[in-house]
Amino acid sequence: MKKNFLFVLLALSMSFKSFADEGMWLPQLLGKQVYADMVKKGLKMTAEQLYSVNKNSLKDAIIIFGGGCTGEIVSPEGLIFTNHHCGYGAIAGASTMDHNYLRDGFYAKNKAEEIKTNLSVQFLLKIEDVTKEVLAGLGGLSGTERVSKQAELLDAINARYSDASKSIQARVSPVFKGNQFLVFVYEIYKDIRLVGTPPESVGKFGGDSDNWEWPRHTGDFSVFRVYANKQNKPATYDPSNVPMKPKWFLPISLKGVKEGDFAMIWGYPGGTNRYESSYGIKLATEVNNPTLVELRDVRLKYMFEQMKKDPAVKLKLSSSYAGIANYWKFFDGETKQLLKYDVFGQKAAAEEKFQAWAKGKPEYQNIFSDWKAAYKDWTPYAKSRVYFNEGIMGSSLISFAASLAQLQRSLKSGASKDEISKIVKDIDQRRKGFLEGEDKPSDQNILAALTKMFYENVDKSQLPGAFYEDVQNKYGSLNTDEPYKKYAADVFKNTMVFDDAKWNDFIANPTLAALEADAAFKHADAFITNYVTHISPKFQKFNTLNNELGRLYLKGVMAMNPAKAAMMYPDATFTMRVSYGAVGAYKPRDAVSYDYVTTSKGILEKYKPGDYEYDLPAKQIELLKKKDFGQYADPVRKDLVVGFITSNDITGGNSGSPVINGKGELLGLAFDGNYEALSHKLAFDKDLNRTINVDIRYVLWCIDKLGGAKNIINELKLMR
């Protein structure tokens, strides 16, 4: 039976697609049918040119950039293109008020000017299927025993494939909800330097208003470089390091795109859950998503108030604000699209058919009765979990204070002086980083507001002990904002985290009494204790059962209909995937049609002098009005194309992914999805789904004409 099942799984990855342009395919298992379809639609490269372990191939130009984005190598000297928002943290970190690269942009005119960062990139060396080994080790285990044993097996495989001395790291990725296991082996480079970035007004043009929207006019790109030692191997930062010589780099097309053109997107989509149950859809739309959106809305409100007042605060909070805002809008849009297209109803209908098939089959017949019971038990606690993660931990101060819980545990357990000294040294270092990014006025308001919201919106039986009684006794009735504001002010005033003298005294002699008496830690500890005691065990039980039932359900779906199984693809797991589609316009609603490209004309139409989201550098306005587009002008439109859309299937993690034509040439950088299809993590919309990309000619124009960095252009291989 295992042998047959593995055959089915292999067929899944090698099969022909059932829907146009849907699917994030594993590049080493494209199979004849999918590859043939790619060729039919415009691919000119051989399968071995796309992915090969023994020879250099296109996959060698695609990298994991930082902690959660994609990048691509575009020159023989290790030059990287990725999104501006992917490099945002590094750009902000390199900026000061005197040299504000985030605001003003930056381009190194030579390699000596390139700026050290704390980033790393990962090159994929190979992918191997280890399913047989894992399933043999798991036997017939289920539940927590299976989870524990699986972790043990994967750790052993990772260790076997990894080699820290050579910067080789392996990570096994379960796909098809744990029915198949693949090990991905990476080589990690840690000397990454900032080469160039447009001003934030270009790289983030349109701000939050345009986020997830089309038409788009954002120059969402940044430029970095990989450095290596003299042997071209990974090395930590050293001035003597040299630009890495890549196995493959992408040439750049200056021909642009037209409707119907073939487009591949390679990269690292972070995560989808398209085989989610109807119960999961209901929980997302009714509890998880609305709660998260509500909590993030409050955090953004108070951060934005301070950012508008002071450029220094804007610089300090910019990266954090962008991350919070991005998924605030995403989850709001996801909920609306799931409801609009009745994804719950579609899932429920498919599940009814499965249940009819499953009758009399012991392995499958009780899945949905067990699932229903699991969700019934967990749902009353789901909001509390979101409030803890997004609310209580939404305050930067409380999140930092919560990290001191490790010290608390060590002090309680009587750990050795050396162990405690090591922990104290670590938290002292992290405090410095926290203080550099902390804005007390906004965070104090956030703490007050979210503490109040927790009290008002979480079931009273799930509140932390006597915490709110104590607040009421000291500050007054909890029905108004004032007691929470006074409470938050006292926390910020009295915590040792902001008092260097008190902090230094504490780390010189850390005691449990002093830690637990601290105002910020007391707040964090009350909610952590409540969560760990009452909520976390219930979630762990639910999560284990939910995953187990999801695995069995997907296994059953494939057994029920092998023909359908042969048209399935694995969920995204932040592992290398390739999707393919075409450049194309779309009609989001009645009487509305969107073109497939945007141009500089649209930039000028959106431009608002001095506006927080739509301002632009004076030089850019001048160049665009003069139509000084140089070699980057589109010959058909007689304009500078800024962005274009394709039907490719992507998700978070694909930010910075290369959009590549059939010859393997770079057309643009993927950076967003469209609002009308924000349900894509849970359900792909074959009609409305679009990937938003910055045109590579606009990227080059910004570097060359706007930035004056001809040296970067000269390093590229331009195809006309």
Burial class (CB in 10 A: 0-12, 13-18, 19+), 533: exposed
Which tens digits make up the pLDDT trace of 649-668?
Answer: 999 999 999 999 999 999 99
* Residue 384 maps to a domain: yes
Alpha helices in 44-130 (DSSP H): 47-50, 84-94, 101-104
**536 given a catalytic annotation:** no
Q: Looking at the structure, tell me whether residues 306 and 383 fall in a common domain.
A: yes
What's the chain's average pLDDT? Answer: 94
| Mean pLDDT along residues 399-412 | 96
pLDDT of residue 2 exceeding 70, the answer is no
pLDDT at 18: 39
655 is catalytic: yes
pLDDT at 205 over 50: yes
Give the pLDDT confidence score for residue 322 in this predicted structure: 84
Q: Is the pLDDT of residue 215 over 50?
A: yes
Residue 220 a catalytic site member:
yes
> Are 525 and 590 members of one domain?
no
Amino acid letter, residue 497: V
pLDDT over 90 (residue 648): yes
Spatial neighbors of 125 by CB under 8 A, at least 6 apart, are 53, 168, 185, 186, 187
Tell me, yes or no, whether 408 and 515 share the same domain: yes
User: What's the confidence (pLDDT) of residue 11?
Assistant: 35
Q: What percent of the chain has pLDDT over 90?
A: 91
User: In this structure, is residue 697 part of a structural domain?
Assistant: yes
- Assess whether 213 and 333 both reside in one domain: no
Q: Is the pLDDT reported for residue 621 higher than 70?
A: yes
- Residue 236 sits in the same domain as residue 314: no
Whether 271 is covered by a domain: the verdict is no
CA distances from residue 615 to 207, 222, 250, 604, 606 in whole angstroms, order as listed: 10, 19, 32, 10, 9
Q: Give the tens place of pLDDT for each residue, 225-237.
A: 999 999 999 999 9
- Sorted by sequence, the CB contacts under 8 Å of residue 696 that are 6+ apart come out as 252, 253, 666, 667, 668, 669
C-alpha distance from residue 279 to each of 61, 204, 235, 359 (Å)? 40, 37, 48, 20
Residues 6+ apart with CB under 8 A from 203: 84, 85, 197, 218, 219, 220, 221, 222
What pLDDT is recorded for position 1? 33
- 585 and 529 housed in the same domain: no
Which domain range does residue 208 map to?
Answer: 43-252
Q: With contact defined as beta carbons under 8 Å apart, do 405 and 556 qualify?
A: no
Does residue 288 have a pLDDT over 90?
A: yes
Residues 708 and 584 in one domain: yes
Provide the pLDDT confidence category of residue 30 given band limits of 50, 70 and 90. confident
Residue 307, domain member (yes or no): yes
Residue 524 is assigned to a structural domain of this protein: yes
Mean pLDDT value across residues 423-442: 95
Task: List residues bridging with 267 in a β-sheet.
Answer: 577
The whole-number average pLDDT for the span 658-681 is: 96
Q: What are 502-513's pLDDT values in tens digits? A: 999 999 999 999
Give residue-wise pLDDT tens across range 439-485.
999 999 999 999 999 999 999 999 998 999 999 999 999 999 999 99
Model confidence at 7, pLDDT cuts 50, 70, 90, reads very low
CATH code of the domain containing 689:
2.40.10
Q: Which of 234, 252, 270 is the last residue of a domain?
A: 252
Question: pLDDT at position 4, please?
Answer: 39
Average pLDDT over residues 601-625: 96
Query: Do 127 and 175 sit in the same domain of this protein?
Result: yes
Give the chain's radius of gyration (CA, Å).
26
- Report the alpha-carbon distance of residue 23 to residue 655 in Å, rounded: 17
| 460 falls within a domain | yes
Select which of 85, 217, 523, 680 is catalytic: 85
33 domain residue, yes or no: no
Distance in angstroms (rounded) separating the CA atoms of residues 325 and 713: 33
Which one is catalytic: 13, 167, 395, 655? 655
pTM to 2 decimals? 0.89
Choose the catalytic residue: 60, 129, 220, 525: 220
The band of 348, judged by pLDDT with boundaries at 50, 70 and 90, is very high
User: Which residues are paired to 116 by β-bridges?
Assistant: 193
Nearest residue to 582 via CA among 596, 569, 570, 602: 596
**31-85 residue pLDDT tens:** 777 899 999 999 999 999 999 999 999 999 999 999 899 999 999 999 999 999 9
Residues in the chain: 720
Give yes or no for a contact between 400 and 407, defined as CB atoms under 8 angstroms apart: no
Place of tokens 């997830």: 212
Q: Which of 211, 235, 252 marks a domain boundary?
A: 252
Same domain flag for 79 and 217:
yes
> Confidence class of residue 564 from pLDDT cuts 50, 70 and 90?
confident
Residue 3 has pLDDT above 60, yes or no: no
Residues 534 and 657 in one domain: no
Residue 629 CA to chain centroid, in angstroms?
A: 34
Looking at the structure, do residues 73 and 172 belong to the same domain, yes or no?
Answer: yes
363-367 own/partner pairs: CB under 8 Å, 24+ apart:
363/552, 363/556, 364/552, 364/553, 364/556, 367/549, 367/552, 367/553, 367/556
Number of domains in the chain: 3
At 216 the three-state DSSP class reads coil
Whether residues 284 and 237 fall in one domain: no
- How buried is 70 (Cβ within 10 angstroms: 0-12 exposed, 13-18 middle, 19+ buried)? buried
Whether residue 514 lies inside any domain: the answer is yes
